[in-house]
Amino acid sequence: MSSCKENKKTKEDKTNQTSEEKITKTISEEKIDSVNQLAARQYLTMAEKLEKNRYPKTFYPENNEFESSNSGWWTSGFYPGTLLYLYEETGIDSLKIEAERILKDLKQEESNTATHDLGFMMFCSFGNANRIDPKPEYQEILMNSAKSLATRYNDTVKAIRSWDSASWNKAGEDDLVVIIDNMMNLELLFWATEHSGDSIYYDIAVNHANTTMKHHFRKDYSSYHEVIYDENTGAVKKQITNQGFADESSWARGQAWGLYGYVVMYRATKNDKYLEMAKNIADFILNHSNLPDDKVPFWDFDSDKIPNDLRDSSAASVMASALLALYEFTNSTEYFTAAEQMLKTLSSPEYLAGQGELGGFLLKHGVGNMPNSTEVDVPLTYGDYYFIEAFHRYKAM
């Protein structure tokens, strides 16, 4: 690996940790096990209904409509990823068998260079498969996926292109669009450098995160959803939203992607500036006057309908998982307590599906794309994935 790594520190260096603060877990092992058992039953029911090579997206309870996608949709990796976490938690073999079945189809996306979502698609799926049961074939798929993602890097802007230019994302021909969500794809690149010894993936991830830090964030550490750069000069042309309430608002899931992304950056580089960034984002979220006491955010922190607006359970799932990881790096009980509250709320009947409900999904009340009126107040495959991941982290603590 090259020397371009930024201030890489050893794992032992914990200068950022505050003094040890003891936590007491208030969610019982029995409760966690019952959530995982319910989830396993739900996902195995869902598996029976899935058509060949289709991937769960959402479910519309009012007309009992199950929506699926093909392998190329950005959410395809969450289904096998959730199955694999649940297999680890329950030991039920059929969960692993179903994950392996769908992975055979998902493999084709390793050469997809038309999307930035390869981290979501391939790392949540093959990354978990390889973590549980390391295999050369998984590693080859992950390497190929990282190579495909790296083709979207622009060294003038020093960022990975998220969406190709289009009128719907308000970008023209010479524009390069980066959305905050793209921070979630960097973990795949770090894995690729770790695995191959080639620093190019690491360097792309670091450059992308640094560019995002500079241009996606406001002074209060809230973030824009979409930044449009001039691909020839790297100049910022627009800071706007696509899925949020307004250009200057704080779209809840976007804040969650940013938080999770900078926790990953710290884990991978041990550079303190990323830990500071993650803490600042967490503090923005947790101190926001519009964050309800139960800690499940409204779909946008600045929606003009608050308090009479929809929550986004998927944003809470992502936040809970990220805050638990952040707690481990900081020992700050505030992060642990907030994550725990999110998990308690999400596993209450208000949010958690009953057995046989919701087409096999777990969490009610997710908001996919409010401005587009799609996937509003429904379960979302990524909400389920990060919910189960958060419990996995919580249990291991």
Tokens read off for 60 = 């519309």
Tokens read off for 116 = 């930035």
Q: Is residue 312 a contact point for ligand GLY (CB under 6 A)?
A: no
181 is in an annotated binding site: yes
Instruction: Give the nearer residue to ligand GLY in terms of CB position, either 98 or 181.
Output: 181
218 is in an annotated binding site: no
Considering the candidates 181, 203, 300, 384, report the single residue annotated as catalytic. 181
Length of the chain: 397
Round to whole Å and give the CA distance between 54 and 67.
Answer: 9
247 is in an annotated binding site: no
312 is in an annotated binding site: no
153 near 159, Cβ under 8 Å?
Answer: yes
Instruction: Give the nearer residue to ligand GLY in terms of CB position, either 74 or 123.
Output: 74
Least spacing, CB of residue 309 vs ligand GLY, in Å: 17
Largest Cα separation within the chain, whole Å, is 57
Considering the candidates 13, 93, 105, 117, report the single residue annotated as catalytic. 117
Least spacing, CB of residue 75 vs ligand GLY, in Å: 8
Indicate if the alpha-carbon torsion angle 271, 275, 276, 277 is positive or negative. Answer: positive
Instruction: Give the nearer residue to ligand GLY in terms of CB position, either 163 or 351.
Output: 163
Tokens read off for 23 = 């936590």
Instruction: Give the nearer residue to ligand GLY in terms of CB position, either 243 or 332.
Output: 243
Least spacing, CB of residue 225 vs ligand GLY, in Å: 9
* Residue nearest ligand GLY, Cβ-based: 181
Q: Is residue 152 a contact point for ligand GLY (CB under 6 A)?
A: no
Round to whole Å and give the CA distance between 118 and 77.
Answer: 9
Least spacing, CB of residue 229 vs ligand GLY, in Å: 19
Shortest CA distance to 354 belongs to which of 86, 39, 84? 39
Binding residues with ligand GLY: total (CB under 6 A): 5
Q: Is residue 253 a contact point for ligand GLY (CB under 6 A)?
A: yes
Residues 21-80 that bind ligand GLY (CB under 6 A): 74
Site for ligand GLY (CB under 6 A): which residue of 110, 181, 203, 340? 181
Instruction: Give the nearer residue to ligand GLY in terms of CB position, either 74 or 126.
Output: 74
Concerning whether 117 is annotated as a catalytic residue, the answer is yes
The catalytic residues are 117, 181
Binding residues: 117, 181, 241, 253, 257
List interacting residues with ligand GLY (CB under 6 A): 74, 181, 243, 253, 368
